[in-house]
Amino acid sequence: MSTRDRALGAFTGLALGDAFGMPTQSMSREQIAAHYGTVRGLRDAVDAQPISPGLPAGSVTDDTEQAVLVARLLLDGGGRIEPAVFAKALLEWENGMVRRGLADLLGPSTKRAVELLGSGVPPEEAGRGGTTNGAAMRITPVAIATPPDLGRLVDAVVAASSLTHNTNLGIAGAAAVAAAVSAGIDGAGLPEALDHAQRAAAAGAARGHWSAGGDIAARIRWARGWVRGMGTAELADAVAQVIGTSVAAQESVVAAFALAEALGDRPVEALALAANLGGDTDTVAAMCGAILGAHHGLSGLPAELAGQVLTVNSLDFAPLVEGLLGLRGQ
């Protein structure tokens, strides 16, 4: 399997997971069951969907759209994203969502950081409250553009994330996802890639402003060991009730790794299960999809489902991936 196939798999897996979770995002497990039964494939969003009511099956959300934005900014900047340019692009993205009548807007950490930057707060201070999963959900382009060398990778994660998520938790979560994806693109086996993610999370936790919260590296290590061998029902309860699926990085990022560990050889099952868990389902599934997509490659993802997502959203990841891999080779 080629590096290009794995990189395309990472970006496509992110979008596929995002689309799986779109109809159920911000809903409880009970609400999901009442409106959808059990989600096993791509579904239209019901009118009661609080974020994306009525969107057609296969539609993506902010996770994919902001990842595409980051990819384009990386390419335009030759591998660097200037804080002011990033903030302007994020605000323009949100304004576009408002014009489309959607409630999928900037997350709490990103919104506050952009507002602080606009009021004159220095870029290195704007993200000091960012402990959510916003940086992790859009980090895949950085992982494609950066080899898994730990020091270089964490530096790249910090550079792309600190404007909005300049905390130990925000950076650790993004570093974990980036490391798993980057190692997968290099051909590492899934256990090796997830091990590398734990090391990256530990390194990332030493960066940024300190915020209280469970250590993400330790929680990933614990969760991986705990969920091995669980059946689907037990796994769903474990992730939803104990690990957590909120926007907090120490919950949703860890949830994505738990699903990747338990269902790594069955990516569609992993993404479908994520969609049924309640909470930040689109982001949990998107992060899990990026990790498993890098492992299985585009050729290892179901062509019909992937094609539906690309068609519905008019996405073409090939030019972005080509450019990002060019940065990776520098």
> What does the domain layout of the chain look like in residue ranges?
3-328
Backbone Cα Rg of the chain: 18
Fold designation for 3-328: ADP-ribosylglycohydrolase fold (1.10.4080)
3-state secondary structure of 230: coil
Note the pLDDT tens digit of each residue in 134-152: 999 999 999 999 999 999 9
As given in the structure block, the two tokens for residue 45 are: 């969003």
In the annotated binding site for Mg(2+), the residues are 61-63, 280, 282-283
Residues of each annotated binding site: 61-63, 280, 282-283
| Tens digits of residue pLDDT in 235-254 | 999 999 999 999 999 999 99
The per-residue DSSP string of 163-224 comes to: HHH-BHHHHHHHHHHHHHHHHHHTT--HHHHHHHHHHHHHHHTTSSB---S--HHHHHHHHH
Query: Which residues of the chain carry a pLDDT beneath 70?
Result: 102-105
pLDDT at 104: 64
Asked if 176 and 198 touch (Cβ cutoff 8 Å), the reply is yes
The per-residue pLDDT for 219 is 98
Q: Tell me, what's the pLDDT at 115?
A: 84
How many beta carbons lie within 10 A of that of residue 59, not counting itself? Answer: 21
Q: What is the pLDDT of residue 117?
A: 77
pTM surpassing 0.75? yes
